[in-house]
Every structure is written in C-alpha cells, then in structure tokens.
Amino acid sequence: MFDRFDDNVKKTMALAREAAPRLNHEYIGTEHILLGLIHCENCTAVQVLRKMNIALAEIKIRVESLKRIGHSTVSIGQLPFSQRSKNVLELAMKEAENMGHNYLGTGHLLLGLIREEGCIAGQVLLGLGADLAATREKVTSLLAVIFSDPDAITILTQDFPLHELVGRIIVFSHLADLSAGELVSEEREDTVIAATILSCAKSAGKFFIRIASPDDMNYLTIKADDDEIELGGSVHRRVYRGTLIRIVKPRYKGD
C-alpha cells in the first residue's frame, strides 16, 4: 500500500510523525494524520476543505481540544500507526480504487478519515460540516482528471460492446430516492458519483452494470440511447434515479 502513496500523502505522513511527539503521543493516530494533512499546502484535501469553508486553524484547535497531550516526552522515530489509522488507510485506498486511481492521494485520505466512524479526525471533520457525501462530491469534482477523457461515452447505444465497459469509470449524478417517493427539489444540489465498472450485461434494450461501491448501492440499470440511470442495492432494496454524465477510461497519476 505504501508504495502507492503520492508525494503529498508521503509528506502528510512525515508531518504526522512530527505531530505525534509534539503532543507526547507514542503512536500515529488519525488526529496526527489530519494535522499533517492540513499542513500539506495546496494539496487536494486542503483545497476541498477550503471550498467547504472549513478553516484549517479551527481544525487544529479542535483536534488539540479533543486529544489530551501526553505527560512523557516522546522522541521522533518510527512510531506505530494506531488501528484506526490503519483502518483509515484501507478505507482511503478503497476510495481511490472506486475512482479508478492506482495511487493514494490526499483527497482519498480525507475521505478515509471521515469514513472511519468515531475516530478523532472524523469527529472534528464532521463537526465542521465535512460529511462524507458532500466531501466525496468535492473531491471527485476537483480530481477533474476523470472527466477529461476526450473519448468519453455520454450515451450507451444499443450495439455498444459490453467488454469495452468493464474497467471504465462511470460518472453520474444521483437525484432522487424512488423507493421513498422523494421529489427532486430545484434547490437540492445533486451528488456526483464516480465508480469503476466491474461487470455488465444487456437485455431488452437495457444495460445492467455492477459497480465498485463503498456501500450497498452497487447496481445500475441504463436504457440504451438514454441518460437516465436507476441505482439499486442487493441488501436494502432501495432504488435511486440518476443521470449519466459520462463513462471514461481510468486515468492514473502521471498519465
């Protein structure tokens, strides 16, 4: 996993290793990763937090108010990651994979911190308004590389070859919960989702697509020659309506 860290994540981890001893902590926790993240200037995570009007100085204040400073002096060295920090890295990698990225960036790391329920960093971020759905939308939008494919597919025609879909990234907006009879409000901001296509089939003029998703909503149905999507899950049986934005080839850092 560590060999997939981009330069900003490597810098974040180095800063986290420095933050832990300053608080006299003998481990690298999610709070130290967050402190390292906000000091990684102009990285994706910092840009997202600024777009969400979250003050970096306030993050530092809240982290230090939630976590007590240790009593014993700790020297900088190869401190171990806490279990929660390990969980964050695994969740961040899942976010990266779902976006079709073969590297771990600070945007993915930010999402991992929010997804690890109950951790110090997650509590701080959620308390400042960085909920998972809104943050993921901002990260996805900022990582514009997934939208820049000149050969992007915007409509699936009846004769489109299925084998060419597998492995691509499907980007769509999710609008309404049909199972709950939810109405779409003009004031509501759509959630943009990007996910890797794992498999697909076609029948009766419809494409049935399974996507890599961090939750249960992992099945899409798209009519041929139409941009309307139905998003469903295998467990909760909820159905959402959405709109296809585009289907692109995965892009990797450095491409």
Tell me the CATH number at 118. Answer: 1.10.1780.10
- Give the C-alpha separation, 90 to 195, whole Å: 17
Within a domain: 222: yes
Do both 134 and 168 map to the same domain?
Answer: no
Task: Indicate if the alpha-carbon torsion angle 14, 19, 20, 24 is positive or negative.
Answer: positive
Q: What is the pLDDT at residue 168?
A: 85
Is there a domain that residue 151 lies in?
no
For tokens 């509590």, what's the residue?
A: 123
Which of 142, 176, 192 is the C-terminal boundary of a domain? 142
Indicate whether 148 belongs to any domain.
no
**Residue 98 shares a structural domain with residue 218:** no
Query: Which of the pair, 85 or 7, is modelled with greater confidence?
Result: 85
The lowest-confidence range among 13-17, 193-197, 204-208 is 193-197
* 3-state secondary structure at position 219: strand
Q: Which of 177, 249, 171 is nearest to 209 (CA)?
A: 171
Residue 37 in contact with residue 45, Cβ under 8 Å? yes
CA 34 – CA 64 distance, rounded (Å): 11
Task: Report the mean per-residue pLDDT for the chain.
Answer: 82
Residues 134 and 238 in one domain: no
**Gap between the Cα atoms of 134 and 148, Å rounded:** 22
Residue-wise burial string across 169-190, b where 16 or more C-beta atoms lie within 10 A, e elsewhere: bbbbbbbbeeeeeeeeeeeeee
In three-state secondary structure terms, 159 is coil
Give the pLDDT score at 67.
67
Tell me what pLDDT residue 255 has.
38
108 in a structural domain: yes
| Distances from the Cα of 112 to the Cα of 86, 135, 219, angstroms | 10, 11, 23
Rounded Cα distance, 230 and 248, in Å: 19
Same domain, 14 and 123: yes
Q: What is the structure's pLDDT at 177?
A: 66
Judge residue 123's burial from the number of C-beta atoms within 10 Å of its C-beta, 0-12 exposed, 13-18 middle, 19 or more buried. Answer: middle
**Position 150 in a domain:** no
pLDDT at 132 over 60: yes
| Residue 185 pLDDT > 70 | no
Please report whether residue 232 resides in a domain. yes
Same domain, yes or no: 93 and 17: yes
Scanning 99-243, the segments in alpha helix (DSSP H) are 106-115, 120-127, 132-142
Count: domains in the chain? 2
- Same domain for 46 and 128: yes
Q: Do 132 and 213 fall into the same domain?
A: no
Q: Are residues 48 and 132 in the same domain?
A: yes
Domain range for 20 is: 2-142
Is residue 152 domain-resident?
no
User: Do 182 and 104 reside in the same domain of the chain?
Assistant: no
CA dihedral (58, 60, 63, 69) in degrees, to 10, reads -140
Q: Which of 43, 19, 42, 47 is closest to 31 using CA atoms? A: 19
Are residues 92 and 29 located together in one domain of the fold?
Answer: yes
Both 122 and 235 in one domain: the answer is no
* pLDDT band (50, 70, 90) for residue 192: low
* Nearest-angstrom CA–CA distance, 166 and 210: 9
Based on the domain organization, do 241 and 131 belong to the same domain? no
Q: Which of 142, 173, 197 is the last residue of a domain?
A: 142
Please report whether residue 157 resides in a domain. no
Q: Which of 142, 170, 199 is the last residue of a domain?
A: 142
